[in-house]
Homo-oligomer: A and B are copies of this chain.
Amino acid sequence: MRADARRNRQRILDAAAATFAAEGIAVPVDEVARRAGVGVGTLYRHFPTKEALFEAIVIDRVDTLLASASVVDESQDPAGALFSFLAKMAGDVSSKHDLLDALSRAGVELKERWGSKFDQLRAAIDVLRQRAVDGGAVRADVGTDELLSLVVGVCLGSKEIGAAHGCDRMLRVVCDGLRTRAAAEA
């Protein structure tokens, strides 16, 4: 691979990360190319479709998130570990529009296209959730998918309606709702 090609590829990735984070997948391909300082043709030489470029960005984001799940998991306090991961996730999703778009695609497409990457995320959350439930701090009747939906929903809701305030307070309400009564009294 020629040196200029490698350089351009990296430029495109950088520009796409920034642009998708700011505008989500709705941004036109031409805008990403413009920001990268290349022509659209160049972009399409490196990535077969817009979707493929988007995936490259998002997969990287999810990997980062997964790493922070393992870190948090070392913690002694299972409920705290779960909640702090959810907060971390909400923060990421709120600040990176592409993650939000990726996670809020209609269920089918999400599971088909992203396949294992999505499962990995769900599995990571499930470990934390199960541990917190076993510890008796978190209610058992809320599944991992619902947890995911709640976090994504909170981010969507805060973005769309109350642009002013972040989603922290809303997430706190959700986490309080997730606690068992016994845990809440403690």
With A173-B174, A175-B177 as given contacts, are A160 and B108 in contact (CB-CB < 8 Å)?
A: no
Contact residues in B for A159 (Cβ distance below 8 Å): 106
Q: Is the CB of A105 within 8 A of B174?
A: no
Give A97-117 as 1s and 0s: 1 = Cβ < 8 Å from B's Cβ atoms: 000000111111010000000
In the complex, whether A146 has a CB less than 8 A from a CB of chain B is yes
In the complex, whether A2 has a CB less than 8 A from a CB of chain B is no
In the complex, whether A158 has a CB less than 8 A from a CB of chain B is yes
In the complex, whether A13 has a CB less than 8 A from a CB of chain B is no
Contact residues in B for A141 (Cβ distance below 8 Å): 169
How many copies, total? 2
CB contacts under 8 Å to B, within A39-87, are none
Q: Which residue of B lies closest to A178 (CB)?
A: B173
Give A139-178 as 1s and 0s: 1 = Cβ < 8 Å from B's Cβ atoms: 1011001101111111111111111110001101111111
In the complex, whether A6 has a CB less than 8 A from a CB of chain B is no
A15 to B7, CA, bound (A): 53
Q: Which residue of B lies closest to A105 (CB)?
A: B160
With A173-B150, A173-B174 as given contacts, are A163 and B107 in contact (CB-CB < 8 Å)?
A: yes
A149 to B153, CA, bound (A): 9
Known: A156-B156, A181-B184, A184-B184; 9 extra A-B contacts, CB below 8 A, are: A104-B157, A142-B173, A149-B170, A150-B157, A152-B157, A152-B160, A173-B177, A173-B178, A174-B174
